[in-house]
Structures are given as structure tokens and as C-alpha cells.
Amino acid sequence: MPSPPARVWEIISDPSAVVSCVGGAELGESHDDGSFDGVLVVRFGGIRVKFAARITLELDQDEREGRLTARGRDGQGATRFSGGAVFRVTEDTVTGGTQVAMTGEMNLSGKLAPLIESGAGVVVARMAREFSAALVERCAPTDTADATPIAAPAERPGLWQRLRARLARLFGRDPSPTRPGKATSTPSRGVRP
């Protein structure tokens, strides 16, 4: 990610900010034990499944690590699940940005488990791409004063610029355009204009 680790950690350690990066997710009520409720609607082919869960989030601010556990069921109560994930935010020493590493596991049981397990790879890959894109956008600087300029790659001159430069060299003229208010003259080297 192009943002600094402190900014990424600020977002990824805030459940409401994370939920805004996950399509079909909603944050529910918070509980006295620190857990909170959440809802996630997922499409498996033509079927929409709504999962409700109790979620616990443990954060280590100093290490920029977190552990998430969830337990719940689908809207009809036919399928139960439990799972967890561990994530870590670190500086990417190559790009100067941030790396977010995450591993997780999900256990399913019940009527919809075979359907969900058969399509899980595709759904998880899609959700991970969408989440990553939304997280990058959410972590981007909101004020241009906060933005760190990144050097643009050098552009190769277009056909017109290359042709113009070649003709200018051929006829001994300066290929750069004349700026208003600044006259230039180049000797003609024996060629009449």
C-alpha cells in the first residue's frame, strides 16, 4: 500500500473504518465485554447469504498486530460458523509504503456449508481484491498538504514530438517550442526558410 504504516494501522484497527471497506458489511451493537455484532451479506453464485456474528478484536498497538475472532450463523440459522484472523501492518522497505499481512481460518457446519465451501475460493478472492482497493483509497491522504509527491515515470516523447525534433535537427533549428515573450533565432546553416 502506498500509505505510511501509521495511517494504515489507524484505519485497520478501527472496526467502523474496516467495515466501510467491506461491501455488504454492517457494524452492529457493542457489548460490555468489548465484543460487537456484525452482519455480512455474501453472494455465492445466484444465492445471497446473510451472516450475523459476534466479533472480538484484540489489538497490539506497539506491534501493529491484531487478532479477530467471530462466531455466528446465517439468517435462517441453517449454517453456523466460527473463525478467526491474525493481521499485521509493517513498513514495506522496498517501496516505502506499507504491507498488510493476514491469515485466517473459517469453520462451517450446517445445511449451506457444502455450497459455501465450493464457492469460497472465488468469493474470498473477490472480497480480498475489493477490500484492498477500498483500504488503499480510505488510507489515501485527504489533504494535499499530507500527500507525498511520487515521481512520475519518464514519458517517452510521442510521434509528433519525435518527428518535430528530427526535422529541427535536420534543418538546424531548436526543437523546443518558442515561449511567448521570448524570441529565439537559430542560424540556418545555409538553408533558406
Higher pLDDT among residues 75 and 177, named by residue: 75
Flag whether pLDDT at 21 surpasses 80. Answer: yes
The answer to whether 55 and 68 have CB atoms below 8 angstroms apart is yes
Residue 41's pLDDT band (cuts 50, 70, 90): very high
Mean predicted confidence (pLDDT) in 85-90: 96
Q: What is the 3-state secondary structure (H, E, C) of 125-138?
A: HHHHHHHHHHHHHH
Any idea which of 5-9, 88-92, 154-158, 172-176 has the lowest mean pLDDT? 154-158
Mean predicted confidence (pLDDT) in 85-93: 95
Identify the bridge partners of residue 49 per DSSP, sorted by sequence position.
Answer: 42
Every domain of the chain and the residues it spans: 5-139
Q: Which residues contact 50 (CB under 8 A, 6 or more apart)?
A: 39, 40, 41, 74, 75
Q: Which residues contact 29 (CB under 8 A, 6 or more apart)?
A: 36, 37
Mean predicted confidence (pLDDT) in 178-189: 44
| Whole-angstrom distance, CA of residue 27 vs CA of residue 33 | 16
Residue 168's pLDDT band (cuts 50, 70, 90): low
Provide the CA 110 distance to its chain's centre, in angstroms.
33
Mean predicted confidence (pLDDT) in 146-162: 47
Q: What is the pLDDT, as a whole number, of residue 144?
A: 52
5-139 placed in CATH 3.30.70.100: no
Predicted structure pTM score: 0.67
Instruction: Sort 183 into a burial class: Cβ within 10 Å, 0-12 / 13-18 / 19+.
Output: exposed
| Whole-angstrom distance, CA of residue 80 vs CA of residue 73 | 4
